[in-house]
């Protein structure tokens, strides 16, 4: 009886170890495939639209067959401010590009007051607690992610990106790895 009980304990321990190691391997694989580096799937986003109470999720703008530009900005950053009109030009120039701009860690009122002075038609999201920026590892303002239509990160720009650079990146992503 003791031998049988010992065998069952060893068998259950082995089964638990196997289940744990499979789960660990799956989590490790998941961490390698989702991230903020080129070739990784962009992290999930869920937040509110700036100036509205509508909840926006990644699925609202990803996997629709478009290249997606995710731009982290703030009204106090002069480089962000100079990029915003160029992002609007890109949105209007390329039918296969969706632009999402995420306001970083500033009071919503400040951001809303600022965008009233601009003619912006692309999606503006709020990240008032900097949670999304932290997930994306944003340390430089502005930071822009260019996502392929499949949601994979195709290019990352830390700092300002010019209109001609945006066009070049979009054109490269439009023909590669679709």
CB atoms within 10 A of CB 79: 14
What number is the average pLDDT over the span 145-172? 96
Which pLDDT value is given to residue 175?
A: 76
Which pLDDT value is given to residue 14?
A: 52
Phi/psi at 76 (5° precision): -85, -5
What number is the average pLDDT over the span 47-68? 91
Which pLDDT value is given to residue 7?
A: 55
Phi/psi at 169 (5° precision): -65, -45
Prediction pTM value: 0.79
The more confidently predicted of residues 177 and 83 is 83
Average pLDDT of every residue of the chain: 84
What gap in Å lies between CA 76 and CA 54, rounded to an integer?
A: 25
With 0-12 / 13-18 / 19 or more C-beta atoms within 10 angstroms meaning exposed / middle / buried, residue 67 is buried
- CA nearest to 145, candidates 45, 47, 46: 45
């Amino acid at each position: 009886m003791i031998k049988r009980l010992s065998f069952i304990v060893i068998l259950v321990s082995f089964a638990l170890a196997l289940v744990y190691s499979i789960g660990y391997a799956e989590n490790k694989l998941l961490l390698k495939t989702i991230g903020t580096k080129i070739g990784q799937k962009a992290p999930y986003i869920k937040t509110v639209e700036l100036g509205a109470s509508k909840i926006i999720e990644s699925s609202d703008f990803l996997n629709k067959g478009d290249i997606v530009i995710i731009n982290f900005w703030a009204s106090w950053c002069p480089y962000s401010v100079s990029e915003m009109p160029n992002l609007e030009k890109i949105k209007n120039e390329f039918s296969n590009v969706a632009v999402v701009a995420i306001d970083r860690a500033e009071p919503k009122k400040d951001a809303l007051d600022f965008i009233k002075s601009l003619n912006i038609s692309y999606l503006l999201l709020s990240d008032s607690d900097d949670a999304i920026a932290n997930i994306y590892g944003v340390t430089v303002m502005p930071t822009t992610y260019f996502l392929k239509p499949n949601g994979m990160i195709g290019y990352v720009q830390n700092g300002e990106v010019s209109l001609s650079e945006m066009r070049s990146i979009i054109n490269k992503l439009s023909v590669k790895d679709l």
